[in-house]
Structure 1
């Protein structure tokens, strides 16, 4: 059973850019199992996990939270992709599957008050039809609310709230993938094992062979690392080391306030601690915060 708090009655600023795609029907579970990189068959009704879609070459296209809202119903919550984009991608593989893809789920993503639950992978259902996900981690408590259209607590997007949400995502190692970063990185390069976002035990799915080979042959030579600097940083900017040699690139950036900026970059896993890092500005290293795995 999903946990049920009282109806949410505090202002919840909308989080722009979050795509919500409903997948419903007799074949919904089997279809998602065959297309996504995590084990949908192991996802019980009323629970959620991190998941994503890969190219046949094992590169991440979309990263999302997958909610199992019923025996034959799912909801994809993508922080960086419009639901219509994800729908168009999945429609190419439907063939004769008995299911419906709906990008008009009737819900809006928002940042709201913390809703306590004894299991962070459980979907929280409020009495007023709202859903919520506990996305807390070592950096503090957070709840992502999915509010019905017209909900009285749904407020206009607030730039400060949106920026703080993105900063928390990056601090916990949840990469935010703009269109320019899609199909650029494998799950291991993005350290998605930290989030429990892909499975090595389930059956075939696009990119599965590359993911498994990288894992079992120990070939993940680059990983996700958290960096900080001042001034302006942009995704795809090369990260240079000693002697000006290119070590990797920035994946995503976030404004940390007061002229500071944080970023996630894909860099060599065995990067020496004393290596100087620069990407248009000197960079320092920060630890990735834990606790966001689901």
Structure 2
């Protein structure tokens, strides 16, 4: 749902795959290695299913789509060695480095065929917390195909285009934008206890929306909710427990 031609070789951007009704199936990082090579880094969706869906739109025999099972993606908190912003960096071994940080924390991703990193559940949880704090929705399978890019506030990531034509759902996305009908977006809330996807965010008398993503680390519990952008300030609860709305941070747009 973004324009590949708008990025130069050696750059990356957020993008996604939509249903014809403009609902987000998957959100991913789109890397343009050169004029002939694009990579998709898919944080949450099933890459094999996404690849199969995209193959339906291949009309030229020279286009090849495949899942790179020979590569791993590893992340760490810390400044990238070379990558910066939307400029990726490749080293002599063929590894690709991406800047995933913001003004609030330095992070980098590395795509490699020789990973020696071990699984660190605590680091994974901190990474997810950082994503949610910056309005990057981590969509479980239950939330795929439910939300428009505007409802997921993906303009914060520059993850969709209202000018590029000919992608599934483009007409609905553009109409929503130009008619000013984006009434719902992401709300970040913090809770004293863990929350579950699907739980309802409420004021005293009104249901505002449902949790679409959660993260828990270091004694903190965050959730993203799709809810009304224009609403009065009032106490919020989830499952009868008071929660606090927090401001979304900037810095992950590419």
TM-score, scaled to structure 1: 0.82
Q: For residue 182 of structure 2, what is the aligned residue in structure 1?
A: 220
Measured after TM superposition, the shift of residue 104 of structure 1 is 2.2
Measured after TM superposition, the shift of residue 46 of structure 1 is 0.6
Q: For residue 91 of structure 1, what is the aligned residue in structure 2?
A: 55
Measured after TM superposition, the shift of residue 47 of structure 1 is 0.4
CA contact (8 A) 1:177 1:251 kept: yes
Measured after TM superposition, the shift of residue 119 of structure 1 is 3.9
Give 2:125's match in structure 1, choosing from 141, 144, 163: 163
Q: For residue 30 of structure 2, what is the aligned residue in structure 1?
A: 66
Residues 117/290 of structure 1: CA separation in 2 closer, same or farther (3 Å cut): farther
What number of residue pairs does the alignment pair up? Answer: 252
CA contact (8 A) 1:252 1:265 kept: yes
Q: SS at 2:109's partner residue?
A: strand
Q: How far does the alpha carbon of each residue in 1:227-274 deviate from its partner, in whole angstroms, 9 at most, with x for none?
A: 10022211111111122x21111110000322x31011111001222x
Aligned pairs for 1:247-258 (under 5 A) are 247-258=208-219
Unaligned runs of 5+ in 2: none
Q: SS at 1:254's partner residue?
A: strand
Q: For residue 265 of structure 1, what is the aligned residue in structure 2?
A: 225
Distance 1:86 1:196 in 2: 21
Q: SS at 2:148's partner residue?
A: coil
Residues 207/97 of structure 1: CA separation in 2 closer, same or farther (3 Å cut): farther
Give 2:237's match in structure 1, choosing from 274, 278, 283: 278
Q: For residue 111 of structure 2, what is the aligned residue in structure 1?
A: 146
Query: Please, which moves more after superposition, 92-101 or 136-145?
Result: 92-101
CA contact (8 A) 2:122 2:217 kept: no
Measured after TM superposition, the shift of residue 224 of structure 1 is 0.6
TM-score, scaled to structure 2: 0.95
Structure 1 residue 129 and structure 2 residue 94: aligned?
Answer: yes
Aligned pairs for 1:6-21 (under 5 A) are none
Distance 1:77 1:109 in 2: 8
Q: SS at 1:176's partner residue?
A: coil
Q: SS at 1:212's partner residue?
A: helix
CA contact (8 A) 1:139 1:172 kept: no
Q: For residue 138 of structure 2, what is the aligned residue in structure 1?
A: 176
Distance 1:115 1:86 in 2: 29
Q: For residue 192 of structure 2, what is the aligned residue in structure 1?
A: 230
Distance 1:178 1:164 in 2: 17
Q: Which runs of 4+ in 1 moved over 3 A?
A: 116-119
CA contact (8 A) 1:172 1:292 kept: yes
Q: SS at 1:271's partner residue?
A: coil
Distance 1:238 1:64 in 2: 27
Measured after TM superposition, the shift of residue 125 of structure 1 is 1.3
Q: SS at 1:190's partner residue?
A: coil
